[in-house]
Amino acid sequence: MVHLVRLFYRELRRQRKRMTLTIVALAWGTFSIVILLAFGEGLNRQMRKAFHGLGQGICIVGGGQTSKPYKGLGKGRSIFLKLEDIDLLQERVAGIEFLSPENDRTINTLTYGRKSITKRVIGVAPAFEELRTYYPERQSRFLNETDVEGKRRVIFLGAKLKEALFAKGEAVGKTILVNAVPFLVVGIMQDKMQNSMYNGPDVEKAAIPYTTYLAIFGDKYLSRLIYKPMDLTRSEMVKDDVVRVLAQKYKFDPEDKQAVDFWDTIEQEKITNKIFLGIKIFMGIIGGLTLIVAGVGVANIMYVSARKRTKEIGIKMALGAKKRYILAQFISEALMISFVGGAAGILFSVAAVEGVNAMALKGDVADILAHPAISLDIMVATALILSLIGFLAGFFPARRAASLNPVEALRYE
Amino acid sequence: MIKMEKINKTYGTGTARVEALREIDLEIKENEFVGLIGPSGSGKSTLMNIIGCLDTPTSGQYYFEGERVQEFGHNQLAEIRNRKIGFVFQNFNLLPYATTFENVELPMIFKGASARARRTKVMELLEKVNLAARAHHRPSELSGGEMQRVAIARALTNDPRLILADEPTGNLDTKSGEEILKIFEELWGQGHTLVIITHNPYIADCARRVVKLRDGLVEKDSVRNQ
């Protein structure tokens, strides 16, 4: 057995050109499919992440204007939400997981040392962190219940805003001025992608407790309130309940679509999910077609080389090689080629993907496109399928040649 | 050693049907030196391939050392070719990517001989055909006469009793041809049985028995008295 292996190895070395070609075809096929799908999956994930920059499965409710007369009240009445509505909804609507008021105003001067900028400051509850993905960077935190109860002057800064004020320097623990009122920085938001927003991207906003906000600015109404249902499949029911409770309080027709402004990202997510599914199917088809092209390439090389070696098989049979010896040689060769080719393809694609990720490209397009995500399943499946195709394409002509009379095989040029 | 009864071999069907061999009866004994002659298309090579178990007859009986070859399967035929017959081809049929040593070694590998046994035997044979210095050359680096000597050494690797040669000097110049012939004479002297297809009158003269084929029939079978 050992000398058989040695003999195979020797022959493999001798036929370097043929081997190299087959291995390159296999590796290239694996590489192109894995890379294609890795970039596709990366694109998919980044788009999803960007979409979820606003929050996942949330409803944003703001005041509106009635469009229908109701119980003797005319249409065109403005509806404004109030802070007390938060407690009301919490009490009367079942199935809300997170709920937060939001107040905001544009013109706020934020000052640190000698640097001063004008940005948007919002007043919110701790639930805002989960609702709107205001996740803090390490060693910092979002606003908490103590901050709210104590009307503390603490502030949570968006990533870009922090950069503008502090550049690369440490911000947490420092005091900044908001319209000349000192605030303690407690947290910095993790940089995030966001392709869906109102009043500008979150990374350029600063958040303070809503109690502090109301104490300073004295707003009478809420800009909006945001909630997330516990069970996304029951979101319609929760939404109906929210409208009903508000309609009762503010005396408008629950069927009046314009009385309150309802931004339902859950509905939007369902549509987006369909788009993502579409992209997935598209990638699958492209991947499948590429796999066929690569498979044909590998099969062609294997087939031709097996045919070309009919004479060699004839010589070996004339010298007394048994059929199973010939087949064992072809099988072990094909397996070796497949293994090396598949492994090389996998290795190169992992290297390429890691390389692109390591570059950590920044920018609008790069954020979406330059984060390929490799899938082990796809990688292994691709390598296996291509190897199998190559193997079969090489095996059958070899078996045919080994079944011929030695004379017929020898005649083949 | 071998015995053939009413051997027929036909190729193709219908109008393309070719009767390569017709009712051949032939017996070859141990240590005979047979020259097989005849014009091209007379069936010499077909007969040789059947004797060498590279091909099977369409009908008739072929006994090799008393055993009916038709009853053998793929593997048994391979074993006979491996151990009992040494084949020398007109176009050498060496593996192009293997060295002299590796080519000669092949039949012993198929037999399952150990590396040490192979080494000893191959070097002994290469000495015999005067090619020891060329052990690690490829066929492309050898002359025609050298390639044919490699092929002869390869045919002798497993010490077969029967040596078959299909126009062994056909592709060689006169001098190389004479060298090859000298080797065959020696082998005959050592007790091997030889069957050689040839157009070369010189070889035909050396053979102790000449079988002449024409149109798939034995036209003449003459034994020369020494």
Domain count, chain B: 2
Tell me, yes or no, if A321 comes closer than 8 A to chain B by beta carbon: yes
Half-sphere exposure for A370 (CA within 13 Å, toward CB): 13
Q: Comparing C-alpha atoms, which of B154, B219, B164 is closest to residue B197?
A: B164
Any B CB within 8 A of A412 CB: no
> Given CB atoms, is A7 within the 8 Å cutoff of chain B?
yes
> Which of A243, A265, A287 is the C-terminal boundary of a domain?
A265
Q: State in Å, rounded, how far the first CA of chain A is from the last one.
A: 30
If asked whether residues A242 and A276 sit together in one domain, one would say: no
In chain B, whose CA is at the least distance from the CA of A15?
B97
Q: Are residues B141 and B165 in the same domain?
A: no
Pair (B148, B168) in one structural domain: no
Buried b (16+ CB within 10 A) or exposed e, A63-102: bbebeeebeeeeeebebebbbebbeebeeebeebbbbbbb
- Phi–psi pair at B35, nearest 5 degrees: -100, 130
CA B207 to chain centre: 14
Does the pTM exceed 0.80?
no
- The nearest CA of chain B is from the CA of A2 a distance in Å of 10
Task: Give yes or no for A406 touching B (CB within 8 A).
Answer: yes
First vs last Cα of chain B: how many Å apart? 21
Residue B36 lies in a domain: yes
The mean per-residue pLDDT over the stretch B48-59 comes to 92
Q: B72 Cβ partners below 8 Å, 6+ apart?
A: B53, B80
Q: Mutating which of B81, B88, B104 best tests the A interface, going by the most A Cβ atoms within 10 A? A: B81
Closest CB to B54 among A323, A324, A405: A405
**CB of B137 within 8 Å of any CB in chain A?**
no
Q: Strands B18-28 and B2-11: what pairing?
A: antiparallel
Query: Do A359 and A325 share a domain, yes or no?
Result: yes
Say whether pLDDT at A1 is over 80: no
Residues A301 and A359 in one domain: yes
Q: To the nearest whole number, what is the mean pLDDT of chain B?
A: 90
Q: Across the interface, which of A10, A320, A406 has its CB nearest the CB of B107?
A: A320
pLDDT band at A12; cut points 50, 70, 90: low
Question: Averaged over A299-315, what is the pLDDT?
Answer: 83
Q: Do residue A320 and residue B98 have CB atoms under 8 angstroms apart?
A: no
CA distance B73 to chain A (A): 11
B89 falls within a domain: no
Interchain pair A405, B154: CB under 8 A:
no
Which pLDDT score, from 0 to 100, does residue A238 have?
Answer: 92
Pair B19, B121 in one domain: no
Q: How confident is the model at residue A375 (pLDDT cuts 50, 70, 90)?
A: confident
Instruction: Determine the structural domain holding residue B134 and report its residue range.
Output: 94-158
B116 and B79, same structural domain? Answer: no
For A78, which DSSP code?
B
Nearest chain B residue to A1, by CA: B112
**Chain pair A-B, CB pairs under 8 angstroms:** 68
In a domain, B222, yes or no: yes
* φ/ψ of residue A189, rounded to 5: -75, 140
Q: Is B115 in contact with A315 (Cβ distance < 8 A)? A: no
* Alpha carbon distance B82, B109 (integer Å): 10
- A14 touches B: beta carbon within 8 Å: yes
Look at residue A283 in the predicted model and tell me its pLDDT.
85
Query: Which range marks the domain in which residue A340 is found?
Result: 2-52+270-411
Q: Are residues A330 and A259 in the same domain?
A: no
Among A308, A316, A319, the residue to mutate for chain B (most B Cβ within 10 A) = A319
Query: Are B116 and B48 members of one domain?
Result: no
- DSSP structure class, residue B66: T
Q: Across residues A270-295, what is the average pLDDT?
A: 85
Considering only alpha carbons, which residue of chain A is nearest residue B52?
A318
Residue A287, pLDDT > 60, answer yes
Q: Which of these, A247, A262, A260, A261, lies nearest to A70 by C-alpha position?
A: A247
Contacts of B159 (CB under 8 A, 6+ apart): none
Instruction: For A31-82, write each residue's pLDDT tens digit.
Output: 988 888 888 888 888 887 787 888 888 999 999 999 988 888 888 899 999 9
Residue B79 forms part of a structural domain: yes
Tell me the C-alpha distance between A216 and A213, whole Å: 5
Query: For A382-401, how does the pLDDT look when each residue is reduced to its tens digit (9 = 90+)?
Result: 888 888 888 888 888 888 88
CATH number of domain containing B183: 3.40.50.300
Q: Which two tokens stand for residue A405?
A: 């009379």
Structure tokens at A310: 């009919």
| Interface confidence (ipTM) of the complex | 0.92
Q: A333 and A405: one domain? A: yes
The verdict on A25 and A147 lying in the same domain is no
User: Is some CB atom of chain B closer than 8 A to the CB atom of A5?
Assistant: no
Same domain, residue pair A118 and A31? no
Domain boundary among B158, B182, B214: B158
How many folded domains does chain A comprise?
2
Note the helical H segments in B12-136: 44-51, 74-83, 100-111, 115-128
Cβ separation of B81 and A406 shorter than 8 Å?
Answer: yes
Residues B152 and B170 in one domain: no
| Domain contains B123 | yes
My answer on whether A99 and A244 are in the same domain is yes
Same domain, B164 and B80: yes
Q: Tell me, yes or no, whether B167 and B149 share the same domain.
A: no
Give the residue-averaged pLDDT of B74-78: 91
Task: Name the β-bridge partners of A285.
Answer: none
Domain endpoint, select from B140, B158, B176: B158
For residue B30, being part of any structural domain is answered with: yes
Residues of A in contact with B111 (CB under 8 A): 320
Q: Which two tokens stand for residue B172?
A: 């060689």
Report CA Rg, chain B: 17
β-pair type (B59-64, B67-68): antiparallel
A280-283 CB contacts, 8 Å cutoff, 24+ apart: A280/A44, A283/A36, A283/A37, A283/A40, A283/A41, A283/A44
Q: Determine whether B170 is exposed, middle or buried from the number of CB atoms within 10 Å of its CB (0-12, 13-18, 19+).
A: middle
Residues B24 and B74 in one domain: yes
Q: Could B110 and A316 be called an inter-chain contact, meaning their C-beta atoms sit closer than 8 Å?
A: yes
A164 plus A255 within the same structural domain = yes
